[in-house]
């Protein structure tokens, strides 16, 4: 995937680090798709975000 997606994921991670005291993330890139998995904690809540970008689709999953 192109550099725009890496910049986009970096922006999301930076915003999460400003908002939540504890953030863990993993980026999985291949030429055909990019996946961001973000795990954050806010008090007793755990926030899970997965974003998949490919040439065909953009998919999100959010859980609290």
Tell me what percent of the residues of the chain surpass a pLDDT of 90.
58
Quick one: pLDDT at residue 58?
85
Q: What token pair was written down for 12?
A: 């999301």
Quick one: pLDDT at residue 2?
67
Does residue 1 surpass a pLDDT of 60? Answer: no
Q: Would you say 30 and 6 are in contact if contact means Cβ atoms under 8 Å apart?
A: no
Q: How far is CA 28 from CA 7, 12, 25, 35, 52, in A?
A: 14, 15, 10, 5, 9
How confident is residue 64, by pLDDT bands cut at 50, 70 and 90? confident
Does residue 57 surpass a pLDDT of 90? Answer: no
> Distance between CA 58 and CA 40 in Å, rounded?
21
The per-residue pLDDT for range 34-55, each reduced to its tens digit, is 999 999 999 999 999 999 988 8
Q: Which residues in 1-64 belong to E strands, given as ranges?
A: 22-29, 33-42, 45-54, 58-63
**Domain residues for 17?**
3-63
The domain tally of the chain equals 1
């Amino acid at each position: 995937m192109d550099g725009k997606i890496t910049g986009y994921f970096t922006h999301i991670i930076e915003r999460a680090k400003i908002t939540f005291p504890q953030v863990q993330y993993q980026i999985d890139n291949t030429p055909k798709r990019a996946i961001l998995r973000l795990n954050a904690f806010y008090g007793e809540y755990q926030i899970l975000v997965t974003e998949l970008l490919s040439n065909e689709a953009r998919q999100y999953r959010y859980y609290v």
